Amino acid sequence: MMIPQNLTQKIITGHLISGESIAGSPIAIRVDQTLTQDATGTMAYLQFEAMGLDRIRTELSVSYVDHNTLQSGFENADDHLFLQTIASRYGIRFSRPGNGVCHQVHLERFGLPGKTLLGSDSHTPTCGGLGMLAIGAGGLDIALAMAGRPFHLVMPKIVNVRLTGRLRPFVSAKDVILEILLRLTVKGGVGKVMEYSGPGVETLTVPERATITNMGAELGATSSLFPSDEMTRIFLRAQGRDEHYLPLGADPDADYDEVLEIDLSAVEPLIARPHSPDDVVPVHSLKGTKVHQVAMGSCTNSSFRDVAMIAAMLKGRKIHPGVSAALSPGSRQVLTALIDGGQWKDIVASGVRILENACGPCIGMGFSPPTDSVSLRTFNRNFSGRSGTKSARVYLCSPETAAAAALTGEITDPRDLGMEPVQVRTPETFPVDDAMILLPSDAPERVVIQRGPNIQPLPIKGPLSDPVRGTVLLKVGDNITTDHIMPAGAKILPLRSNIPAISEYVFEAVDPTFPKRAREAGGGIVVGGANYGQGSSREHAALAPMALGVKAVVVKSFARIHLANLINFGILPLVFEDEGDYETIAQDDTVTIDTSGLDSGRMMLRNETQGTDIRVLHNLSGRDVRILRAGGALAFAKQQITD
């Protein structure tokens, strides 16, 4: 008799290479597809190239350019040429600048129910909206997957988010995921997959589902997943991809580790206050707060449904004179559909500024807010300084709430505008034009890979030392994000392929003296609090500290992707056995970590300055330990591929 399985278990079981699908157990799964974006992709392809293979070994890999599209110097343009030529050489499809945001385009053109997707962007789970197990990871993990290596992770717990009811007018999918963040916080999904079920699911279109799975990353979740059902079939048919439809869902009576009940009809317009996606309150509670800027779009809320909703609310109206509003469509397909349907004219006539089909302001690439201003954004993150303006107060909200603020000049519950409920009709077929997705060369041996002067060789780390000695270079608190460790923005993102240059900005938001002090000390150790490394998948938050000589990070707890990135680059990740010991270490203390207990997971940290001993732990797999001993995953993988 077959044991009932939930959807996550079905997909993982079908892709399992090693291990058992028991929560907490190390597993390895086959990766069907990969995606990269340009901010992480250049380094991922340098790493793939270093493995010496002639071609990728996945079913499909796509390289997107959507982050570094502001070409104020040669750096981004050079990287784009590198990405295009290396994609052509190694069998990778290349989505050109202007074609759209990776997650939106992949959802439209490549996502497949029942398949696995690994992406070098933390919001890769967007494709979970159509029944695909999509996981964000560091660039090196993507390089390994393209080389045909399995993806290693700990089998997550599965949370059944059971949806009932139907969303009311001017309440949207963004409010649903904000409701979940309110309940669970940014740490609530760590080590878990959020799997959605219940009668409320069938009321949500694939783009609405994708909004929810996209921001599952803010929960710290490994992935988020909806079933593949009639709504999925309708979406794929509209994309001209009927043949890819596969009905897929959990078995009746399938077991889950946790259950969360949400009545969609009880959800109201919500908003996340600065500076965390889980600082959520009802929109009406902030009524009257003056708004200076509204930014609409991003991979979370730039689908046809969302932008058409904005257009309907703005039709025949003008943006408030005290507000600067801008819109970034999610893809060229979305933009074309809006032009064909006439909605684009309404947006332009309202006074909204039109930005490129790219990430743009969400990653700090333009449209920064004024000093000490309030900016409402339909984005997924509002970390301090991420917008490009450190003093700005950034709020996260739905397209409906953003449009209401753009019209009134203040935070406004969209239900208070007095408008009739808006019905958005999604086209039965979308304008499909893949001309900006370039196929790889049929003669790869003739492709000359273009390398600009900003593309520098990978830094190399030696094997793990025993013991690990160093100075505590920095001590930080809870919920340190990868934006704190390795900032983004128009000044820093173009340096992603130049590790010596980008290393000068490590911890800039926390302590601008960190790079200089790290070099002078010959490297050292970082001490942190809970949920260290939450946020983006950017491996540069591990790679650049490694280049500065960071040998170990000792914290109360880690975020999943950053923990994996630290291992990949040979930085020893440890946690305090007793969290109270965090208080006994100070910046500038000299410490020694005895790594003789690395295999057992229990070690001793000697604080030479204070004359105290502290027990530290890890929960790493045997493979992780071997990677650390080798000095990182690249050296380890080259040996494995050779074998």
Average pLDDT, the chain: 94
- What is the arithmetic mean of pLDDT over 590-608? 94
Q: What is the CATH number of domain 270-415?
A: 3.30.499.10
- What is the arithmetic mean of pLDDT over 266-279? 97
**Do residues 567 and 605 touch, judged by C-beta distance below 8 A?**
no
Domain 270-415 matches domain 468-642 at the CATH topology level: no
Which of 340-349, 488-497, 591-600 is predicted with the least confidence, judged by mean pLDDT? 488-497
- Name, of 209-223, 449-463, 475-489, the range with top average pLDDT: 209-223
pLDDT in tens, 219-256: 999 999 999 999 999 999 999 999 999 999 999 999 99
What's the pLDDT score for residue 377? 97
Q: Evaluate if residue 347 carries a pLDDT over 80.
A: yes
Q: Evaluate if residue 277 carries a pLDDT over 90.
A: yes
Torsion (CA) 90, 92, 95, 100 in degrees, nearest 10: -130
Q: Evaluate if residue 642 carries a pLDDT over 60.
A: no
What's the pLDDT score for residue 339? 97
Q: Evaluate if residue 491 carries a pLDDT over 90.
A: no
DSSP secondary-structure letter at 352?
Answer: P
* Helix, strand, or coil (residue 342): coil
Q: How confident is the model at residue 638 (pLDDT cuts 50, 70, 90)?
A: low
Q: Nearest-CA neighbor of 554 among 475, 609, 469?
A: 475
- All structural domains of the chain with their residue ranges: 270-415, 468-642
Q: Evaluate if residue 1 carries a pLDDT over 80.
A: no
d(CA 61, CA 110) in angstroms, rounded, equals 10
pLDDT in tens, 117-148: 999 999 999 999 999 999 999 888 999 999 99
**Range 615-629 burial, b when 16+ CB lie within 10 A, else e:** ebebebbebbbebbe
Q: How confident is the model at residue 537 (pLDDT cuts 50, 70, 90)?
A: confident
pLDDT in tens, 282-331: 999 999 999 999 999 999 999 999 999 999 999 999 999 999 999 999 99
What's the pLDDT score for residue 555? 97
Distance of CA 473 to the CA centre of its chain: 28
Q: Evaluate if residue 643 carries a pLDDT over 50.
A: no
Is residue 348 within a helix (H) or strand (E), and if so which, with residue range? helix 343-350
Mapped to the 3 state alphabet, what secondary structure does 268-295 carry?
A: CCEEECCCCCCCEEEHHHHCCCECCEEE
Taking the alpha carbons at both ends of the chain, their separation in whole angstroms is: 40
pLDDT in tens, 71-119: 888 888 899 999 999 999 999 999 999 999 999 999 999 999 999 999 9
Q: Evaluate if residue 173 carries a pLDDT over 60.
A: yes
What's the pLDDT score for residue 641? 54
Architecture of the structural domain at 468-642: Alpha-Beta Barrel (3.20)
What's the pLDDT score for residue 490? 76
CA distances, 544 to each of 43, 436, 495, 515, 559 (Å): 12, 33, 11, 10, 18
More confident residue, 376 or 465: 376
- What is the arithmetic mean of pLDDT over 59-76? 90
Starting at the edge strand found earlier in the chain, the sheet holding 116-119 runs 133-136, 116-119, 33-37, 60-64, 93-95, 437-438
Q: Evaluate if residue 340 carries a pLDDT over 90.
A: yes
- What is the arithmetic mean of pLDDT over 470-477? 96
